[in-house]
Structure 1
Amino acid sequence: MLANKMLAIRPAVRRAIVTQSRRAISAPQALARCPARLTATTTYTSSSQFRSYSRPADPQFSTRSTVVQLLSNIGSKREVQQYLSHFTSVSSQQFAVIKVGGAIITEHLQTLSSALAFLNHVGLYPVVVHGAGPQLNKMLEDAGVEPHFEDGIRVTDGKTLALARKLFLEENLKLVEELENMGVRARPITTGVFSADYLDKEKYNLVGKINSVDKKPIEAAIEAGCLPILTSMAETPEGQVLNVNADVAAGELARALQPLKIVYLAEKGGLFNGDTGEKISVINLDEEYDHLMTQWWVRHGTRLKIKEMKELLSDLPRTSSVAIIHPADLQKELFTDSGAGTMIRRGNKVHIKSSLSEFEDLAALKEVLIRDREGLDAKATVDRYVEGLKDRPFKAYFDEPMDALAVVLPQQDSTFAHLATFTITKAGWLTNVADNVFTSIKKDFPKLVWTVKADDENLTWFFDKADGSLSRDGDVLFWYGLEDGDEVKQLVLEFTKNGRQMFGDYNLEARLHRAAQAALNIGKGGQQKRSYSTYRTNALQSYRMGNQGASGRRSYSTTNPNPPLGEKNISNTRPSKVALIGARGYTGQALINLINAHPNMDLRHVSSRELAGKKLEGYDKREIIYENLSPDDVRRMASNGDIDCWVMALPNGVCKPFVDAVDQGAQKGGLIVDLSADYRFDSSWTYGLPELVNRSTIARATRIANPGCYATAAQIGIAPLVPYLAGQPTVFGVSGYSGAGTKPSPKNDVKILTNNIVPYSLTDHIHEREISSQLGTSVAFIPHVAVWFQGIHHTISLPLKEEMSSRDIRNLYQDRYAGEKLVKIVGEPPLVKDIAGRHGVEIGGFAVHSSGKRVVICATIDNLLKGAATQCLQNMNLALGYSEYEGIPLE
C-alpha cells in the first residue's frame, strides 16, 4: 500500500518540475522563507510566463511544486527528477534512514528541520533516529553524576538511564515540534521499535544490544503521513529500558528497512583525506577498501567508521549507500551528482581487459555495445567494430554487471590515447560507476582525448573530467594531461580542420573510428543516461582538475594520479629490509620481538659489538648472526640499496658516524629512525610522536628522531592543558631500572634499589629540555629510578590560569585523545603494574586543588615499548607506507 501511495504521487512530482528560478538560494534558506502551506502555485505556460493563482486546488501539490523548483537551484531540474524517480521507486520507509547526532539538534535544529521538511514536501519519508550524547554529558554533570566509559561505551546505571530517558524524550519532542511548526507532520516514536538483550550487564550495566526491529510503528506513522522520529532506546522482553548507541541503532534500523540511503548527519560534514586535508566525496568499498585501510590517516574513529559502513552495506542491496553530511548540505548530497559530503558505497569493482580473448562471452560484450544504438544496422555495425578491435591494441574497462563500459585506444604516433567508447546504463549513473571507470582509465592513461556531441545531456560530466575542451560544428573535443602548449595547439588545429575525423590523422584507422562512432553514438543513451547539474556553452575552456568547488565533481579517497613531488607511497605491500644498529640493549630486544611479528618487516642485519658472532635468538623469519658493523660497512650497504630502514639503537652521542655513512652511501636515501637523543633537537629531522605530531609529516620523513620514554608520557600528559597553563608544570617521574640500560650502575643495581628510590639529574635533564621544546612551554622534570624492571609513572602538577573542574579537564583529555589506540584516559591514577608489558599510555587522576587553579595528573608508560620500541615501529610503519599499528598488539 505504501509503495502504491508513493507511485501515485510520482506523476505529480514530475509535472511539478518547472523552469528554474532566476534567483538561486540555498534550499534551507528558501524553506525558511516559505510559509508552511503555500497559497499560490506556479505553472508554466506556452508564452514562457509564470502565472500565480490565488486558490490552488491542492495546497500540498503547491508546496511540493515550489520545493522541487527550489531544489532545482542547487542542481539541475533533470537531476532532481532523476533522483526523485529513484527515491520514490521503493516503499516510503525504504527511502532513507537518517541518524541525527545530539549536537545537531542542539546547534542546528532549524537547519535540520528545514532539510527534513524539504524531503517531506516532495513526498519523501526519511526515518529519523537521533542521539543526545553531548546533552547527556551536560545533564549528568549538572546532576553530579560522573560519566564512566569502557571501550568507548557509556556505562549506564539506573540514575544515568533515568536522566538519559528523560533527555531523549525532551530532545525528540523538540525536533517533532520544530517540524510541526514548519507544517510537517511528525510522529515521536520513543518505544516499541528496538528490542534488545543486555550487551554485557556486568561490564556496561543497562546498555543494550539490539536483536530485533519492529517496523510496524514506522509504517503506521508513514501511512498516516507523518515523519517517524525515533529515539535510540531499546527494551528487553521483560520491558526493561536499555541505552543503545544511536549509530548502532541506525545501522540495525537500516538492516531491517533496507533503504536506498543511510545518512549520518555530522557537524564536520564528511570524512577528510589526511594527506590533502580535503573532504572525501566518494569511497567505493569494493574498489578501494583494502587500499584505503593501509593509509596512515585511516585510524581510530575513521577506521572504525569505514569498517562498520562496509559491514552495514554488505547486508544491504548494492544500490544502497551511506552519506556523511552536514544537515545544511543534505539536499545537495541527495539530489546532485557532485554531492556535498562523503558518500560510501559498495560500488562495482572495475575489470580491465586488453584483448578480445580475455572476454569469456563476446556475445555479452556486443549486447552492451548495442544497447545505445538504434537502427536496423546496429548489430552489423557493432560486429564490425568488435572485429576491428582484433587488429589493434586497446583497453576495455567495465564493472561486473557491465553497467558501464569504456574502450580506450592508444595512439601509435602520439603521446595521448583516445576514448573511443563510453556507454553506461541508468543504474550505472545512479551508483556512480562512471566515475569509478574514469578513475581507472586515468591511472593507465595520463593523457586522453575524446569527443562528444554538443547536445549530449551529460556534457557537463565530461567537462568535469577534462582539463580543456573545444566546440566545433556540434561536436566537443575534450582532453586532459596535455600540458605542452604545442601539443594542445596541434590537437586544436587538427580538430578545427577535421572535426571528429581528426583521429584518422593520428594513425587511428578511419574505418574503425567511423564504425565505432556510428555504432556507439558516444554520449547518447536516452533514458539510460544521467543528467548533470550545470551546462557549459560552446567555448574553448581550459581549467585544472581537482577542485570540487570549481568543477562540481566528486573527489576520491585514495586515488591521486599526480601525487606531489616526493610524496611517499602509503599503500606499501612489499616487505621492508631492516638493519638494527646496537641491538644488545633492552629496547633493541623489544624491537626485534615486534619486527618478528610484523608481516612486512624483514630484519636483515643486527649489529652489536659485544654479541658479534652469536646467533640472534627469538627471531623466526630467518637465521641472523650478530655482526659488528662499522660505518664503512653501513656506507657500502647503503650504496648497494641493501636496506630500506636503519634503526639506530645506540647510546647517546655515538650515532652520528653511522648516520653520516647512510647519508654518504645513499645520497640521503633510506629511512633512519634514531632511538637516541642525538637528533631530537635537529630541525632537519622529524620528531616522531604520532599522537602529537602531524602524521603526514612522519609519513613523508626519511630522518626520524624517536622521542624519549619519559618525554613521551610527559608530553601526552601535559599537551591538552598547554593553552590553560598559568605557569611551569612540574613532572615527578619514576622509572623501572630497565630505563638505566644494561651497563651496570647504581641506577640499575637491584640491591641498591630494593626498599629504595633513587633520584638523579634533579635539574637540566635532557628530557626536561626535550619536553619543554616540543610543548613550547617551560616544564620542570625530576627523574627517579625504582626497583621494578619496566614501566614509568609520572605525577604532574599543572598551575591553571582559570578555575576548572576535574570533569572539565577529563573531558579535554578525552576529546583530545579520542580514537587514539595507544592512549587511554582512566578515572583513577593509573598503576605501573598495569602498564608494564603493554603498548600505550594511560592518563588519569585529574585531581583539582580546592582553589580550582591547580590540577595533578598521573601518566604511566612502558619505557621499553611505547616509550621506545613500539613508538619506533609506529614511525617505521608510517614512513615505510604500512598501517600505523601493523605488528603492534592492540587491546
Structure 2
Amino acid sequence: MIPQIRAATHTTARSALLRAGAYSTPRATVMMTNHRRYLALAANRTPASSTSKRSYSNTATSAQSEKETITKLLYNIGSRKEVEQYLRHFSSVESQKFAVIKVGGAVLTDELDTLASALTFLNRVGLYPIVLHGAGPQLNKLLEGAGVIPDYHDGIRITDDKTLEIARKVFMSENLKLVEALEKMGTRARPLPGGIFTAEYLDKERYGYVGKITGVNKEAIQSSIRAGALPILTSLAETPAGQILNVNADVAAGELARVLEPLKIVYLNEKNGLYNGDTGKKIDVINLDEEYDELLKQPWVKYGTKLKIKEIKELLDHLPRSSSVAIISAGHLHKELFTDSGAGTLIRRGFKLFKHQSVDQLDKDRLRKILEAEDPEVKAGRTSVSSFLHALENSKGGFKAYGDEPYEVLAVVRNDDGKGSGVPSLEKFVASKSAILNNVTDNVWALLSKDYPSLTWVVDQNDENKGWHFDKADGSFNKNGKILFWKGLDSVDTVESVVSRFVNEQSQANVDAATSKTGAFADGQRRGFSTFSSTSPFRTGGRRMYSTAGPVKKIGLIGARGYTGQELIRIVNNHPNLEIAYVSSRELEGKPLEGYTKHPVTYVNLSAEQVKEKTQSGEVDAWILALPNGVCKPFVEAVESVEEGKKMVLCDLSADHRFTDTWTYGLPEFNRAKLPGATRISNPGCYATGSQLAIRPLLAHLSGNPSIFGVSGYSGAGTKPSPNNDVNHLRDNLIPYSLTNHIHEREVSHQLGHEVHFMPHVAPYFQGINLTVNMPLNKTMTAADIREIYEQAYDGEKLVHVVKNIPLVKENAGHHFVKVGGFGVHSSGKRVVVVATIDNLLKGAATQAVQNLNISLGLDEYTGIPLD
C-alpha cells in the first residue's frame, strides 16, 4: 500500500492499511444523501424508502455482481487501489475479526439512516462488523420522565432497580430500531440485546446493578455471521445466575475487542474524532508508543479525554500491533476504512524509531535478520551483510541509519551520493510485511526527510508501487528500466548534474551487461549503485508484465536519436515478441545501440533505397518512422514501391499521415477495430492523444468548443536546441507557443469532428503533459454523472485510468497510462473542467506505437507494455 503522508497534531504519517476516515466534500454530500439510491440501483430495486423489500439473489454470480457494483461506488471516496487493498486486508481475517464498532446513543437518535447506510455498504462488500451500541441519552430522557435523577460515581452510572428496568426497555427498543433500519435497506441483521456478556457485580453496595465483564459468548456472534446477518449487540450483561447487569458500552466494546482481537475498533461519535484543546483542531493520529507520555502532560488532556486515551492504550497494549482504534462519525466511516487519508482520529501503538550515525550504534543481529529476510541484494548473494557493514564503516561522507526498535524497517542514507554532487543518496530501504501493514515505512520516511530535505534515490521501472515514490519526489528521470527520483534540489543545474551522472551510469551498466558472459549481471540488470529494487518493501505482489506467446517480429527503427526513439528501444528490449533488426540515425552511425541487450546492434544510416532492399528481402516485419514532420515521405515511397509492399507494416510517429484517410489513425481506445492487420498506421500526437481521451466521452454532451490548456515538459520540444528546451530559458518560467492553429489543435478537431481550441505551453520539467480541458455542456450535469460517463467509456481500458482527484504530472511521468480526473463542474451544471495527464514520450508516442504494432501484427495489444 502506498499511503500519503498527512500532517497532524500528533503524527508524522497516517496508517497504511489500518486507517479509517471521512468523505471529502462536495462528493461526500452526494454519496451520503444517495446511499439508499445507490444501494437500490445495485440491487435492481426501488429505493429503501419504498415499502418493497429487497429481493435476495440465490446465485453466487448475482452476489458477486452486487459486490462489484458496490465496490465501484466506493471508488468515489478513494482510488481503486486504496479500496481494493483495504478489502483484501479486511477480508484476510476471519469475519468476526474485521471490526468492532461501538455506536454512541446519540448516533442512534441523530444519524440512524446514515449509520444504517454505512453498515449496509460494508456488508455489501462481504464484511461483517460487530456492532455494539449504547443508549445513554435515551436512558437519561426516560429516567427524567419517570422522576429518577441519574446518579454517577467515578464516572459510572449507579443502577438501581428502577434504572435497570428502564435501561432494559431502552436497550431493547434501540437495538430493534437499528436492526429494522438495516433490514429496510435489505441488510440482514440479528438483534442480540443479551446473552453475549457474562459478568459479576462490580461493587453492588456502591454501584448497584453494574457489572464487570468476565466472559464473552463468541458463539452467538459467530452464529449470526454464519447466517449472513450483522450481529447487533447491547452492553447489558448477565451473572451466571441470570441477573441482568448494566455495563458501560465503551467498556463492553473493549472487552469484546480483547476476546476477538479485531483489526479495527471503531468508536462512533458525533464529533468525528478527538480534538486538541489548545488549537481546537482535530487530532489526526496518535502513536501511543512515541507520544503517550508527552500527550498526557498536555494541560488540555484531562477528565474524559484523559480517561479515554488511557483506556485505549490499555486495550491496544494487549492486542496485536496490527489492531488500531478509530474515533469517527458514522457519516465518515467509509473513508476511514477504505482510504489512506482518513478523517477521524486514529490511535495505534505506533513504533519508536531510531536514528544512528555509526555502525557501533546498530543492533547488528537484528540488522542481519532484516537484511537476510528482505534485502534482494543479500538474498541473491550479490553482497553480504558483512560487506554492507564494512562499506558503511568506511563511508567517507558518513551515513545515517533509520528504523524502528525491532528493526522491521531499515533505511540508510549516505550524506553524499559518492559522486561529487553533494546530494545525499538513499542507499537502502527494506521493510517486513508487518511494518508495511502498520505504516512504519512512512514514519521512517518522515523522520529521515527532516534530516535530508534534499535526496536522490533509484527505483526499478517494474516496481508496482512507483506511485509511492512519485508522491515523495519532486522530479524523476527514466532510463533503461530504472527511475531516478529526487526531492529538494534547489536548482536546474543540480538536477541536470544528477540526471547526467545517472544516465552515464545506466549507459555503462548496459555496456557491461552486453559484454558479460556469466554472473549475476548477465541479464543486463547490473547495478553500479545501491537502489531500491523491484522487490521494494512496498510491493503488494507480483504481476504479469506481458504474454510471451507468439512469433518474434523484426523491427526497423528509422530516427532513433530522439527521446521517443530511446523509449521505443527500451520497450522493445523488454518485449518478448519484438526484436530490433535495424536502427537508423545519421548522427549516430557506427556507434553501438545503448539500452538494447537482446543482441548487439550498431546504428546505421539507411537511405530510402536501402530501406526498399531490406523490405523486399523480408528482413523486417515492420518499420517505425520516428522522424520529424515532413521527412518520412521518401521512406514510405520506398516501401510502397516494392511488389506486395503493402503487406509491410509502417508506423509513422510524425504528423505526416494523421489527416490521410488511407492510413489508420492509431488511437486504439477509439479505433481498435481498424488496427488488426493494418499496414499503414499514423501514430497520434502526444497532446492529441491526451486531449481526445479527455474530451471524447462527453462529445455528445457538448454545447460549444472545448478549450485545452496544455503544458508539456521540455522533452516535447525535441533534442534540437531551441528556446523551448533551453533549461536556462525555462528556469522559473512557463512559455506559451503556437497559440492558434497548432498541428495538434487541427488533429484533435479533425479526429473528433468537433472544433477545439488549444493553447500549448512548455514548462521547466523534463517529461510529462498536463491538459486542463474546459467544456460547455448542453444539459445540466453533476460531477458524479460525468465521472460515471468516463468510467463506463474506459471500462476495461488498461492504459486509461479514471480517477476522482486531479491527476498530477509527476504521478504520471514514466508511466504508460493516461490519467483522467478532476471533473470540476460549475455551479450552473453546464460547464465542466476535466484534467488529463500523459507521458509525452510513452503513451503519447513510444508506448502507443508498440500498442498499435501489437494489434496490427496479431499480438496481444498490451504485450511488452508494463501495466502499472
What TM-score do the two structures reach when normalised by structure 2?
Answer: 0.52
Give 1:138-217 correspondences, 5 Å limit: 138-217=141-220
How far is the alpha carbon of 1:55 from its aligned partner? 12
Distance 1:294 1:479, change over 3 A: farther
Alignment of 1:513-532 (within 5 A): 515-517=528-530, 520=533, 523=536, 526-527=539-540
Change (3 A) 1:462 1:539: closer
CA spacing shift, 1:190–1:284, aligned 2, 3 Å = same
Tell me the equivalent position of 2:483. 475
State whether structure 2 residue 436 is matched by structure 1 residue 423: no
Equivalent position SS for 1:202 = helix
- The match for 2:94 among 91, 94, 97 is 91
Q: How many Å separate the matches in 2 of 1:37 and 1:185? A: 18
Q: Of 316, 334, 357, which aligns to 1:313?
A: 316
Q: Secondary structure at the match of 1:263?
A: strand
Q: Distance in 2 between matches of 1:82 and 1:369?
A: 27
Moved more, 106-115 or 278-287: 278-287
Shift of the 66–388 alpha-carbon distance from structure 1 to 2, 3 Å rule, reads same
Q: Comparing 314-323 with 515-524, which one deviates more in the overlay?
A: 515-524
Distance 1:150 1:111 in 2: 34
User: Aligned match of 2:230 in 208, 213, 227?
Assistant: 227
- Equivalent position of 1:33 in the other structure: 37
User: Please, which of 218, 222, 235 is the counterpart of residue 221 of structure 2?
Assistant: 218
Aligned in 2, Cα 1:524/1:308: closer, same or farther, shift over 3 Å? closer
Answer whether contact 1:372 1:525 (CA < 8 A) is retained: no
Aligned match of 2:404: 399
Across the two proteins, how many residue pairs are aligned to each other?
496
- Residue 70 of structure 1, CA deviation: 1.5
Q: 1:29 deviation in Å?
A: 4.7
- Please tell me whether residue 58 in structure 1 is matched to residue 61 in structure 2: yes
Written as runs of structure 1 = structure 2, the 5 A alignment for 1:767-782 is none
Q: Which moved more, 1:416-425 or 1:126-135?
A: 416-425
1:882 counterpart residue number: none
User: CA distance change for structure 1 residues 201 and 37 in 2, over 3 Å: closer, same or farther?
Assistant: farther
| Residue of structure 1 in register with 2:693 after alignment | none
Match of 2:132 in 1: 129
Instruction: Output the CA distance in 1 between the equivalents of 2:310 and 2:138.
Output: 27
Stretch moving more, 387-396 or 307-316: 387-396
Separation in structure 1 between the aligned mates of residue 353 and residue 542 of structure 2, nearest angstrom? 19
CA distance in 2, matches of 1:478, 1:30: 43
Alignment counterpart, residue 409 of structure 1, candidates 411, 414, 418: 414
Deviations for 1:75-98, whole angstroms, at most 9, x for unmatched residues? Answer: 222222222222122211111110
The answer to whether the aligner puts 1:114 opposite 2:121 as a matched pair is no
**What is residue 345 of structure 1 aligned with on the other side?**
348
Q: Is the 8 A contact 1:268 1:325 kept in 2?
A: yes
Does structure 1 conserve the Cα–Cα contact (< 8 Å) formed by 2:197 and 2:238?
yes
Q: Deviation string for 1:486-517 (max 9, x for gaps)?
A: x34443333454447799xxxxxxxxx95443
The alpha carbon displacement at 1:462 in A equals 4.1
Conserved? CA contact 1:129–1:229, under 8 Å: yes
Helix, strand or coil: the match of 1:173? Answer: helix
Shift of 1:519: 6.9
Matched letter for residue 96 of structure 1: A
Kindly report the root-mean-square deviation, in angstroms, between the aligned alpha carbons of the 2 structures: 3.8
CA distance in 1, matches of 2:328, 2:60: 36
TM alignment of 1:812-851, pairs within 5 A: none
Question: Counterpart of 1:180 in 2: which secondary structure?
Answer: helix
| Counterpart for residue 760 of structure 2 | none
SS in 2 for 1:82: helix
Indicate how the Cα distance of structure 1 residues 276 and 438 shifts in structure 2: closer, same or farther if over 3 A, else same.
Answer: farther
Matched AA of 1:268: K
> How far is the alpha carbon of 1:272 from its aligned partner?
2.5
Asked if the contact 2:428–2:532 (Cα under 8 Å) also holds between the matched residues in 1, the reply is no
Please tell me the residue identity of whatever aligns with 1:399. D
Residue of structure 1 aligned with 2:374, choices 366, 371, 375: 371
Q: CA deviation at 1:459?
A: 4.2
Distance 1:70 1:370, change over 3 A: same
Distance 1:161 1:382 in 2: 66
Equivalent residues of 1:409, 1:420 under 8 A apart: yes
Q: 2: distance between equivalents of 1:519 and 1:445? A: 17
Structure 1, unaligned runs of 5 or more? 1-22, 42-53, 504-512, 543-550, 552-891
Give the Cα separation in 2 of the matches to 1:456 and 1:205.
62
Report if aligned partners of 2:120, 2:185 keep a CA contact under 8 Å in 1: yes
Structure 1 residues 76 and 539 mapped into 2: Cα distance closer, same or farther (>3 Å)? Answer: closer
3-state secondary structure, aligned to 2:212: strand
Using the TM superposition, give the Cα deviation of residue 238 of structure 1 relative to its aligned residue in structure 2, in angstroms.
2.3
d(CA) in 2 for partners of 1:132 and 1:96?
20
Flag structure 2 segments of 5+ consecutive residues without an equivalent.
Answer: 1-26, 46-56, 507-525, 544-800, 814-821, 823-868
**TM-fit CA distance, 1:414:** 8.0
Q: Which residue matches 2:288?
A: 285
Q: Distance in 2 between matches of 1:492 and 1:80?
A: 36
Q: Aligned with 1:250: secondary structure? A: helix
CA spacing shift, 1:307–1:192, aligned 2, 3 Å = same
Q: State the AA in 2 paired with 1:280.
A: I
Deviation for aligned residue 1:286? 1.7
3-state DSSP of counterpart to 2:251: helix
Contact 1:173 1:188 in 2 (8 A): yes
Residues 289 and 426 of structure 1: CA distance in aligned 2, closer, same or farther (over 3 Å): same
CA distance in structure 2 between the partners assigned to 1:438 and 1:518 by the alignment: 15
- Contact kept in structure 2, 1:109 and 1:175, CA below 8 Å: yes
Contact 1:381 1:519 survives alignment (8 Å): no
Question: In structure 1, what is the Cα distance between the partners aligned to 2:58 and 2:289?
Answer: 52
Question: Quick one: structure 1 residues 464 and 132, their matched pair in 2 at CA, closer, same or farther if it must change by over 3 Å?
Answer: farther
Q: 1: distance between equivalents of 2:183 and 2:391?
A: 64
- Aligned-residue offset at 1:526: 3.5
CA offset at residue 161 of structure 1? 1.5
CA distance in 1, matches of 2:211, 2:153: 14
Q: Which residue, 430, 433, 445 being the options, matches 1:438?
A: 445
Deviation at 1:384, TM superposition (A): 5.3
Aligned partners of 2:454, 2:532: CA distance in 1, in Å? 25
Change (3 A) 1:533 1:334: farther
Q: Distance in 1 between matches of 2:457 and 2:391?
A: 19
TM-score by length of 1: 0.51
Letter in 1 for 2:483: D
Distance 1:415 1:141, change over 3 A: farther
CA shift for structure 1 position 455 = 6.4
Structure 1 residues 242 and 29: alpha-carbon distance in aligned structure 2, compared to 1, 3 A threshold: same
1:782-793 aligned at under 5 Å gives the runs: none
SS of 2:376's partner is coil
Residues 244, 363 of structure 1: alpha-carbon distance in 2 compared, 3 angstrom cutoff: closer
Q: Residues 117-151 of structure 1: CA distance to partner in whole angstroms, max 9, x if unpaired?
A: 11111111111100011111222222222222222
Aligned mates of 1:124, 1:96 — CA distance in 2: 9
Q: How many angstroms apart in 2 are the aligned matches of 1:518 and 1:460?
A: 16
Secondary structure of 1:477's partner?
strand
Match of 1:252 among 241, 252, 255: 255
Could you tell me how far 1:436 is from its partner in structure 2?
A: 1.9
Quote how far apart the aligned CAs of 1:105 are.
0.9
Separation in structure 2 between the aligned mates of residue 416 and residue 280 of structure 1, nearest angstrom: 35
* TM-aligned CA distance change 1:501 to 1:239, over 3 Å: farther
